[in-house]
């Protein structure tokens, strides 16, 4: 397995697409791509769990508390936020999604030809080699 750096946003996109793809292919036996996904998913799930912990801590830091420091919850058990705290929380959570972490990746030796463009993007750099963006063509002089 190789190591690479990916944003949490990319990891979440990979996890969502990999889960959907695995569900669709569950009765089709083993494949190179399925094996690669099963190697990479646990690593990505761990990174996502760590991210979720950071989000939860950020929510606690930003929520409303009483004079004793006790967290205030509404009638549904949800944390209460002021408008300013909501904006702060949302901005910090966006930064957390863009945080880059190092993960281990494993590329499939054979990539099925029936991947959709969305699957190719989500799997790129995780279980299939990174897709190179097409070069912009320069207008003729």
pLDDT digits (tens, 9 = 90+) for 42-101: 999 999 999 999 999 999 999 999 999 999 999 999 999 999 999 999 999 999 999 999
CA angle 101, 104, 106 (to 5 degrees): 140
pLDDT at residue 15 tops 60: yes
pLDDT at residue 26 tops 80: no
- Alpha-carbon distance of 46 to 21, in angstroms, equals 20
The predicted-structure confidence for 104-113, as pLDDT tens digits, reads as follows 999 999 988 8
Cβ neighbours for 18, distance < 8 A, ≥ 6 positions apart: 37, 40, 41, 44, 122, 123, 126, 127
pLDDT of the residue at 27: 74
Q: What is the pTM of this model?
A: 0.83
Distances (CA, A) of 50 to 25, 90, 107, 132: 28, 18, 24, 29
- Alpha-carbon distance of 83 to 80, in angstroms, equals 10
| Ranges of H-type helices in 63-133 | 83-98, 117-123
């Amino acid at each position: 397995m190789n190591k690479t750096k990916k944003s949490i946003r990319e990891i979440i996109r990979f996890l969502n697409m990999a889960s959907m793809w695995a569900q669709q292919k569950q009765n089709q036996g083993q494949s190179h791509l399925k094996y690669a996904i099963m190697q990479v998913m646990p690593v990505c799930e761990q990174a996502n769990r760590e991210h979720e912990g950071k989000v939860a801590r950020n929510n606690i830091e930003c929520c409303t508390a009483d004079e004793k420091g006790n967290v205030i919850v509404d009638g549904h058990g949800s944390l209460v936020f002021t408008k300013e705290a909501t904006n702060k929380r949302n901005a910090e959570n966006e930064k957390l999604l863009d945080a880059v972490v190092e993960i281990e990746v494993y590329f499939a030796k054979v990539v099925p030809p029936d991947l959709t463009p969305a699957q190719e993007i989500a799997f790129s750099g995780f279980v299939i080699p990174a897709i190179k963006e097409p070069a912009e063509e320069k207008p003729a002089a």
